[in-house]
Structure 1
């Protein structure tokens, strides 16, 4: 499908001093305001509205409560525009008052913080940019219809996070396809903003025809996992697999089995460097986190201001966290959150924020940081890499010895006794042949799926210094080392599995399930594609290798 690029860096934000509103224009277009025909001047590349709740907070930080009540206030990151004049809010402003002092001031002026002037400017903004809104809507609807034409409606899914982007993407899909009963999947990470959960509740009440599924990992406790393998960091976001994509995969497997589905996401190119590398439609195993789906984004080329133009222009309900000043509403304690988000959480979620802060300091002490408070307050915990200082880091270290009595045989150390499900880890290599193993030594044999020739022998082993161990011999293959390397990945999974659910998400055939601390592979579903033992798709053979690997 040929992608139609609807917006580029040429789409810029201009300011009408007469109307006091932003105007979206392309470079080279007539630089006059559509409402009053006054000349407009360049302002910035993107911008968002500042709602009265956030505006009051900014005024308090500046020690000017209600100073901007009657003015048009917009923002881009830490830059605020008041009637087109810019100033910055920096970290020093966040440290000027304690959260308690700010909360007291917010309560004091709340009853005077009216929306009258805000609404007036928003109404003008919508009228002035109506042509832009119409163009965006028409193009997005055409994209949705074209992308979904080969899928039955029951195989079309709307990924619903409770954020503004997924809200718009879902609304566009329902309108474009004239189908209010599409499947919506909400991934409840257990780390959602309270405002997100309130919004999801409202959405379900207002969209009763929608098929709304909640994906939630009820088997894991976030803080207990953090205690075991450390808190998520920017490069170590195990939480995404464990609490989001993994549970969503389970819902998809339950609903669709082996069927391929089309999921409309609220991903936008301008959100981050990583997302700028995506395509508007993705279905490759390299790019898609859940391999049974093709993902597409109707709003891929939209800016922040476009999202708000659509939401406010169509009067769509949205997450109240945005009114407070949050610019993203994923997990409230995400290591990717900026300083403003952390500051806002200390005000609007003081108990949660305090608990998280105390945990981080405790963790810093646990791994031997000499200055734990500074380590946390400076944000260095977000840059943490690997499992240094953690006892659990031992679980990803493959310990083995070459067997001196047999060629191509290794004795692997395990950290627990062999359970029956241990043998299932070898099913990606072939078929279990119970008739071939030597029962006296409890040997299990795996045969090649095509030739029925034995290729792996698995035998419990007793050796001094190895409390639990297993001897694994490879045979009748051309590349013994390659096979042993993949076998080592499975040993690592057995020792280190934390039920992160990455393997479940990776398997497009639904052959892998992880329940009750056991890793199961269904021999009838497994197609021996070996994706689950290939570094290209699973670095180190197990996601825990990345999170717990240590440096000397």
Structure 2
């Protein structure tokens, strides 16, 4: 695919004859002799819809509701063919937006007629057709590559513009509407996202729309288990997005192996700018990720939406540039301002959560901590005592290599579930204790006994008796990882998405490992630092 970057930048031009933005001047020159000038080197040139124009009218101090506007990013606009700067930041900082919030909120007008933007599509039609053809050909090729290997096509649907576009591209390319769409409901979506998803489902009755929703309470985690997420500690993605989707994929044909088409694009963020277009390893163990529009820019997405006359999430009509969790620490000031205007109830709840945390953490000015956005860039915990993740082990008198592992939580039979990844278990119940022999393949690839574990219900000690050939330090560290899960598990479901074989299930109220599926690969044991995501985050570590 031809990249649209030149020296790392995209170029946006303006045709004075067409009166429209141009994204490939060479292609445009083949059909139009109008004078072309460069107007921007950003990746943004989005149509500005009526509801956003109303807000911009208040900021600019003059009526822009009837203007034809394009947003070039960073407060730069094209208004009726002329460049103009309209800055919202000072307006937001001065709380001016609150004066107009009721007015905007009580009179929401949604543009359903895209005809004012057809000129831009016509001026860039050859450019757009090349993009579409390439994206569809990629979709077909990646499907042909992985379908014979047992991967079933799915679409990850967020209710945002990018996943909406990918849905249409993939369905058109594969000539079927029956591709399952997984809607990852984090429970933190905008009301408009739920409304749009339902509208999409009704307008596309042959598309299977499968909600993937967690039963965890985000605010309980913020207040009692973790801390509110920050840009440097986004634990919420694992617990509220990835883990529940992994369980849904198990119900797919072909053993739950998914070729997932995603609406991820390089230009969205620095982190995503290095993504491979096809990811054969992902956060979800049974999933291959394919990204048909990874090289598309914002303006490409909007051209496609107008060209195909696709309905989209109303949040974009308000002025949101991205639509995800409404309290995400990566949300811009513009997003926060718009949420204060259109969803003040969301903001009130989130502000209380942040301020309560600030008080618990010994912050001297909780109000400023929230208002100045310091919660977004938090690293670790300031004054709060971090959760103790240290597990002691001592020498055991049963043999020279035997060790005692000291467990804070009283031992119950539930802990045996956590021993299953270590190997095949042979359990013998005696009056004094439970004796567990662990069998696994060792370095010589011979399947034989590796160690014996002795537990007594109601005590705090696990006795570990390794065979002579076993690396005792590695064994003890693995057992400690499992013990941390036992001590700290809140059934956040993060572990569920780690197992390549789908053997782990924490959705039924307890930690369960299906012995029929577990291959003892041990991928789950230390996937998270110290073995558990709760331990990882509370110890100040972060998953690599």
TM-score (norm 1): 0.89
Structure 1 equivalent of residue 352 of structure 2:
358
- Are the structure 2 counterparts of residues 17 and 401 from structure 1 closer, same or farther at C-alpha, using a change threshold of 3 Å? farther
| Cα distance in 1 between the residues matched to 2:373 and 2:154 | 37
| Cα distance in 2 between the residues matched to 1:77 and 1:227 | 35
CA drift of 1:272 comes to 1.3
1:397 corresponds to 2:390: yes
Q: How is 1:287-366 mapped onto 2 (pairs within 5 angstroms)? A: 288-366=282-360
1:407 corresponds to 2:397: no
- Are the structure 2 counterparts of residues 273 and 512 from structure 1 closer, same or farther at C-alpha, using a change threshold of 3 Å? same
Structure 2 equivalent of residue 545 of structure 1:
535
- 1:470 partner SS: strand
Within the candidate set 494, 501, 510, 1:518 is matched to 510
- Are the structure 2 counterparts of residues 209 and 342 from structure 1 closer, same or farther at C-alpha, using a change threshold of 3 Å? same
* CA shift digits 1:176-221 (9 cap, x unpaired): 1110111111111110011100000000000100111110012x11
CA drift of 1:274 comes to 1.7
Structure 2 equivalent of residue 423 of structure 1:
416
CA drift of 1:227 comes to 0.8
CA drift of 1:455 comes to 1.5
Retained in 1: the 8 A contact 2:104–2:341?
no
RMSD: 2.7
Structure 2 equivalent of residue 132 of structure 1:
127
- 2:305 partner SS: helix
Structure 1 residues without counterparts, runs of 5 or longer:
none
- Are the structure 2 counterparts of residues 523 and 5 from structure 1 closer, same or farther at C-alpha, using a change threshold of 3 Å? farther
CA drift of 1:52 comes to 1.5
| Cα distance in 1 between the residues matched to 2:488 and 2:388 | 5
- Are the structure 2 counterparts of residues 8 and 43 from structure 1 closer, same or farther at C-alpha, using a change threshold of 3 Å? closer
- Are the structure 2 counterparts of residues 319 and 428 from structure 1 closer, same or farther at C-alpha, using a change threshold of 3 Å? same
| Larger CA deviation: 238-247 vs 340-349 | 238-247
* CA shift digits 1:330-350 (9 cap, x unpaired): 111111111111111000111
Structure 2 equivalent of residue 384 of structure 1:
378
* CA shift digits 1:78-104 (9 cap, x unpaired): 433333414252521212345541224
Structure 2 equivalent of residue 144 of structure 1:
139
Structure 2 equivalent of residue 184 of structure 1:
181
| Larger CA deviation: 129-138 vs 449-458 | 449-458
- Number of paired residues? 530
| Cα distance in 2 between the residues matched to 1:257 and 1:398 | 41
| Larger CA deviation: 311-320 vs 31-40 | 31-40
Structure 1 equivalent of residue 197 of structure 2:
200
Structure 2 equivalent of residue 63 of structure 1:
61
Retained in 2: the 8 A contact 1:396–1:496?
no
Structure 2 residues without counterparts, runs of 5 or longer:
none
* CA shift digits 1:494-551 (9 cap, x unpaired): 11223232221111101111135422211221111111124xx433322223311159
| Cα distance in 1 between the residues matched to 2:500 and 2:523 | 9
Within the candidate set 76, 96, 104, 2:94 is matched to 96
| Cα distance in 1 between the residues matched to 2:533 and 2:120 | 47
- Are the structure 2 counterparts of residues 421 and 115 from structure 1 closer, same or farther at C-alpha, using a change threshold of 3 Å? closer
- 1:494 partner SS: helix
| Larger CA deviation: 309-318 vs 257-266 | 257-266
Structure 2 equivalent of residue 161 of structure 1:
158
1:20 corresponds to 2:10: no
| Cα distance in 1 between the residues matched to 2:346 and 2:488 | 30
Within the candidate set 248, 254, 259, 1:251 is matched to 248
Q: How is 1:29-108 mapped onto 2 (pairs within 5 angstroms)? A: 29=26, 32=29, 34=31, 37-47=34-44, 48-64=46-62, 66-67=63-64, 69-82=66-79, 83-106=81-104
| Larger CA deviation: 541-550 vs 322-331 | 541-550
Retained in 1: the 8 A contact 2:13–2:22?
yes
CA drift of 1:19 comes to 3.8
* CA shift digits 1:296-351 (9 cap, x unpaired): 01101100000000001110011111111111111111111111111110001111
- 2:364 partner SS: coil
